[in-house]
Structure 1
Amino acid sequence: MPEPSLPFICRFAPSPNGRLHLGHAFSALVNAEAAARTGGAFLLRMEDIDTTRCRPEFEQGILDDLAWLGIVPAAAPRRQSEHFADYAAALDRLEGMGLIYPAFDSRSDIARAVIESEAKLGRPAPRDPDGAPLFPFPRSALADGARAKRKAEGEPYVLRLDMAAALEAAGAGPLFWPEAEGMPEGPAVAIPADPAQWGDVVLARRDVPTSYHLSVVVDDALQGITRVIRGMDLYHATSVHVLLQRLLGLATPVYHHHRLILDASGHKLSKSNSATSLLALRNCGATPGDVRARLGLDAGQPTPRM
């Protein structure tokens, strides 16, 4: 493994809407140990933009679980709910460039349009890398003036990125991100970015003034993150993040997308599927060493096998 040239500023960014599970533990350990090996810093971020589901007791649970694993963040956590102004500033910049627009189509409107399109064309509608149908209504289907009027009248809406206009505004240079292969400290290779495969992504909602795509880009820049270490499930989303970084004039960190921790049926562990929490494991007598063993991390050698 090559020696890292600079200290890593890494982050772990869970949502405090439930207890951490083994998948979270793996990501937190990989980030914390990469930062430690390079003489850098491990930062904690609470992705709590969903204020209806995120609760203080879950945030405390995250802190307790990290302490149990032996992970100590270098600073107090950044809470997204305390920084909506940062995301609003980024939206204002994109709006000033003419790159976002309010869309009023409900989920049922979108589903109906997709079904009708598939029936008419006799083939599946285009889908993003996660398998969701692309937004089927072009911005040109409604004049910007009419959109502004409906927004001012209080209709529910989301703010979408005009992908075609955004790609044009990004310029002719290639879009790519540096991906560290094999290990977090491994050599980085250039991965071509293809944000168009996501269509006109949502960047904010009327009741939630940001989205994951927007907030993660803004947060990584403001926290000075130099190495983003996260799961493979976010690999393709990096294309959108690279585009937003270029549009907003933000640096692109080096990325490393690690393996996912799967359940017995081969699915990614998640809170929604009631994955066993670290608290439950602890209550059953598990130790941090037991967790490392279950994750395939050698207790005697902190370097994770990826």
Structure 2
Amino acid sequence: MLLNELGEAKRCETAVILTSDSLFMSSRFSYEDCKATADWLMAQTDVRPTVGIVCGSGLGGLADMLKDQVAFNYKDIPNFPQSTVHGHAGRLVFGTLRGRPCVCMQGRFHLYEGYPIQKITLPIRIFKLLGVETVMLTNAAGGLNQDFKVGDIMIIKDHLNMPGFAGNNPLSGPNDERFGVRFPCMSDAYDRELQQLAMDVGQELGYGDFLKEGVYCVLGGPSFETIAECRMLHKLGADAVGMSTVHEVIIARHCGMKVFALSLITNQAVTDYDSEEKANHEEVLQTGKQRAEQLERLVSTMVTKIEHNNNYA
């Protein structure tokens, strides 16, 4: 009898702990938390951004293009996570890009850093509360499409959310209608008009030889993919693979913002057991450095076109 009572007490204790943890997790990333952070930022700067830009590994130079900058270290922003990855500066930069008010994340957050998925995507909800209407995301990715070369820029037209297949989705848990609906559509996750605009701008700039389009697959990381995994992902329809972006896209679309995203192909995924090639982070950063100026020019020119396009005014 005593053993049964002890067992029941232990189960109740576990249930209380789990319930408390669940409440704690949901309360840390609430609408009120995001609003408090957005209000704090707006009190520090007069810039009211309509475009939000997220910079991937080695691509933080986009933020340096902003004029009349007001920058904040992530560690100084209430409720904000901190970037722990080499190549991510960890700053939120406000300013104007060719006259358009923008906010730029110079470094992002990933599942492999140990953050809950809701914390990773919290900045995107803050973007929404700052007044952002269009989100532009960049990342460094491994090429799975054999027609891709290192240094190619891939406009993302769709994605495969592998962590989501296992239930790790940033929208898991209670839904707050102030952000968006319970079951948002993702068949139009990447704005088709912005994709076409990128292709047109790329042609104007003479980037036709290295501007591609394709499907991006996200994995949890931080280990790079095995040969078998690369082969499987390619067969599933992925053209490039990485460890970011998709979670942010889901939240941006949930909030009703338009999304454009691109991948810089920084290495070719290894699919041959006889190959001596090995993926490494330094190669990612080096390729980013080499192609960064052209990528920055593409995005900044797009921002100008968005400004003068009535569909996005």
TM-score by length of 1: 0.27
Tell me which protein shows more strand as a share of its residues.
2
TM-score by length of 2: 0.27
